[in-house]
Amino acid sequence: MLSLDTEIQYLKGIGPRRSQLFAKLGIKIVEDFLTFFPAQYQDRTKITSIRDIYKKLQGCIFVKVGKSCERQLSQGLSVLDIEIFDNTSMMTYARFFRKNNLYSNIDVFATIRKAFEVGKFAYIYGDVKLERSGRFISVNDYEIVQNKVDKPLLFNKIIPVYSATEGLNQKFIRETVKTIVESSCMLYPDISNLIPRFHNIPALQSSIAIQKIHYPNTLEDAENARRSFALQEFFVLECALSLSRNNLTKNPKIQKYEIRRTLLPTFKNNLKFEFTRDQKKAINDIFADMQNIYPMNRMLMGDVGSGKTVVALSAVLLAVENGYQTMIVAPTEILAEQHYLTMSNMLEDLDVKIVLATSSTLKRKSEREKILAGFAKGDIKIAVGTHALIEDRVKFKNLSLIIVDEQHRFGVMQKFAALDKAKSPDILMMTATPIPRALAMTVYGEMDMTTITQLPPGRTPVKTYSSNEQVAYTDTIKELKNGNQAYVVYPLIDESDKLALKSAVDESEKLSQTWFKDFKVGLLHGKMQPSEKNKIMRNFKNKEFNVLIATTVIEVGIDVPDATIMIIQHAERFGLSALHQLRGRIGRSSKQSYVYLIGSFNNETAQKRLSIMTSTSNGFKIAEEDLKMRGPGELMGTAQHGFPKFKAGDLIKDADIIEFTKNHASEIVGNDPNLSKNENIVLKNLISKYFSHKTNLINVG
């Protein structure tokens, strides 16, 4: 008996050798065949005449078979031409190419010659080739019928085209898939009964959807069936995420907050600006979470410069107003330091103790003991730092809120939730990597989400040009003469890329003697120690030099307001999101800022990136384009973060489905938190099958 988990090497006609080839396509068990959906379709619904195929250059014809003639083109390649006719006839040949086997006399055309018997009828799918020696149809696929009226199997319909691999041809894959779909698609678990009707997506049982995706009657049918299958697929994912969210927040928290107005009003009055609408909304969301009986678990997403810091600080002050301690974790020392400086400035008039805790500040024994004691006694209210804060020796008296900046990792939540720094901390994550809503709902699915889409008023958008070095350096010098600063960025293709390093080192020397000879030039490269990088960034910020040449991507979140110009060398080697992040390092004041992209944009992808970069500065839009161009797997390395691959679902086309299934999933999980009701048993099994190993939070055992 076949089951979904039967290994394919045991299937008739496959065996161990072919099963290894199928494994390359990701197919190991029967189930994988069912969801090995076509990479594309060939529309063979229209059969044209020989005369008409010359107009379209590609298509299907139905012809009578004539004589054949074989020739050797080169030592390794032979060609077989077969005369074909229909009643529009112009002398035309069906043409086949085959590689010769140099070591044997096997007749490479035996099968074809046998099939194409004179007088028989053939359906042919192929491309027109006009040559001086005649008219040819280069055959991609064919089917012979005995009589004119016989119905073909592979023509007059839409045909699936699968990804293939060396040693497995399309025909064999197609036949194998067909056999297995016919015998086993009924085994595929179905949860269509749990999902309400959504828009015009047909409510197909999974087995029907599978059949229709492989063998649709029309292309529209195929798309409907795909959407229908995606509905189930995303629903399972969203239920898993919803369970995980429930697990995180299962236990009521200990801390309680009231708006006491002892710190927040002063803080707000000291700011030189009003909160934007999005900032207000974010603060409201966060305060509501904090006042909820369950711990907060929220992601705050906002493009660089959108003003997340004051939002975070508002949350911090609510906690401090209520006597609690808070922790703000940044990924690097320089960012932690920057947060510390900004925040201490903003808190100047308030009597709140804040310290910076990084491996540098914790290095000296006396200093370290003072800081650690302050945490333990509870008189230090705000700890800003790096992962040094997570070490065991760091203990708090009553930590209630943890803020994590610039982390965008699937599952990072677990790490922080598991910390025993606090019993049931409220957690706020922040990221400046905007991603499209649909993707966010899956990547950060276990979190609630707030986005800041507005930038504070009065920003001058960065102008982006593609340009040559001459122009770029000339303009840079103008900016430098006005007292502004500049970045010159080289890509470091990988860590061991000595060549790029060398070029940046050489280049910085050359530039400091030529273009920038009247200015001070600094260099930042990937081989430097973190402390050294820190020092250079700090010196640049303090204007000890005017130009910073960098081989590494400059820290996200770094704030040098007088840097108004950036030259990106070999810009064609950076992805869209990386370019956008880099661009975020400038334009951080009201002054006009400029980016010059230098590189050879000589292929279509590079051209497209260039035109997106020069036409928009909206991070969400750029992320969406990036997603379209690269696929979600590559976006921010989501694949490494256990981000699931979808069989039929498409993160761009199915954004509406994701949103719908997310809402419906919370409802189902809300009504049946352990999915123990009878009707949810299939769903529960699907979740434990696909997700239990990915996130240990889902335990529906």
Tokens of 349: 């008039």
Closer of 247 and 306 to ligand ADP (Cβ): 306
Smallest distance from ligand ADP to CB 309, Å = 3
* Residue from the set 189, 202, 378, 456 that interacts with ligand ADP by CB under 6 A: 456
* Residues 425-454 interacting with ligand ADP (rule: CB under 6 A): 432
Contacts with Mg ion by CB under 5 A lie at 557
* Residue from the set 92, 228, 306, 386 that interacts with ligand ADP by CB under 6 A: 306
* Residues 188-207 interacting with ligand ADP (rule: CB under 6 A): none
Contacts of 127 (CB under 8 A, 6+ apart): 57, 58, 137, 138, 140
Closer of 13 and 458 to ligand ADP (Cβ): 458
DSSP, residue by residue, 232-289 = HHHHHHHHHHHHHHHHHT-SPPS-------SSHHHHHHHSSSPPPHHHHHHHHHHHHH
Give the torsion through C-alpha atoms of 240, 246, 247, 251, to 10 deg.
180
Closest residue to Mg ion in the complex (CB): 557
Q: Does 332 sit near ligand ADP (CB under 6 A)?
A: no
Residue 244: CB atoms within 10 Å: 25
User: Closest Cα partner for 171 from 185, 197, 153, 198?
Assistant: 153
Contacts of 76 (CB under 8 A, 6+ apart): 99, 100, 102
Q: Does 581 sit near ligand ADP (CB under 6 A)?
A: no
Please classify residue 335 by burial: count the beta carbons closer than 10 Å to its beta carbon, then call 0-12 exposed, 13-18 middle and 19+ buried.
buried
Q: Does 308 sit near ligand ADP (CB under 6 A)?
A: yes
Smallest distance from Mg ion to CB 335, Å = 8
User: Closest Cα partner for 326 from 286, 380, 270, 289?
Assistant: 380
* Residue from the set 198, 275, 601, 620 that interacts with ligand ADP by CB under 6 A: 275
Q: Does 620 sit near ligand ADP (CB under 6 A)?
A: no
Contact 566, 487 (CB under 8 A): yes
Among ligand ADP, Mg ion, none, what does residue 310 contact (CB within 5–8 Å per kind)? Answer: ligand ADP
Smallest distance from ligand ADP to CB 460, Å = 13
Closer of 422 and 586 to ligand ADP (Cβ): 586
β pairing state of 547-550 and 521-524: parallel
Closest residue to ligand ADP in the complex (CB): 307
Distances (CA, A) of 16 to 7, 9, 13, 19, 179: 10, 5, 10, 5, 18
Q: Does 417 sit near ligand ADP (CB under 6 A)?
A: no
Smallest distance from ligand ADP to CB 616, Å = 18
Q: Does 331 sit near ligand ADP (CB under 6 A)?
A: no
Among Mg ion, ligand ADP, none, what does residue 400 contact (CB within 5–8 Å per kind)? Answer: none
Smallest distance from Mg ion to CB 355, Å = 19
Specify which residues 81 forms β-bridges with.
Answer: 69, 95
- In the three-class reduction of DSSP (H, G, I as helix; E, B as strand; rest coil), residue 343 is classed as helix
β pairing state of 399-405 and 521-524: unpaired
Q: Does 619 sit near ligand ADP (CB under 6 A)?
A: no
* Residue from the set 207, 309, 476, 593 that interacts with ligand ADP by CB under 6 A: 309
* Residue from the set 38, 152, 216, 302 that interacts with ligand ADP by CB under 6 A: 302
Among Mg ion, ligand ADP, none, what does residue 620 contact (CB within 5–8 Å per kind)? Answer: none
Q: Does 307 sit near ligand ADP (CB under 6 A)?
A: yes
Q: Which residue has the tokens 């990136």?
A: 609
Count residues binding ligand ADP (CB under 6 A): 15
Q: Does 279 sit near ligand ADP (CB under 6 A)?
A: yes
Closer of 456 and 631 to ligand ADP (Cβ): 456
Among ligand ADP, Mg ion, none, what does residue 276 contact (CB within 5–8 Å per kind)? Answer: ligand ADP
Stretch that binds ligand ADP, among 55-63, 175-183, 274-282, 485-493 (CB under 6 A): 274-282
Contacts of 639 (CB under 8 A, 6+ apart): 633, 645
Q: Which amino acid is at 271?
A: L
Among ligand ADP, Mg ion, none, what does residue 451 contact (CB within 5–8 Å per kind)? Answer: none
DSSP, residue by residue, 494-539 = STT-HHHHHHHHHHHHHHHHTTTTTS-EEEE-TTS-HHHHHHHHHH
Distances (CA, A) of 306 to 70, 453, 454, 459: 70, 7, 7, 10
Interface with ligand ADP (CB under 6 A) = 273-276, 279, 302, 304-310, 432, 456
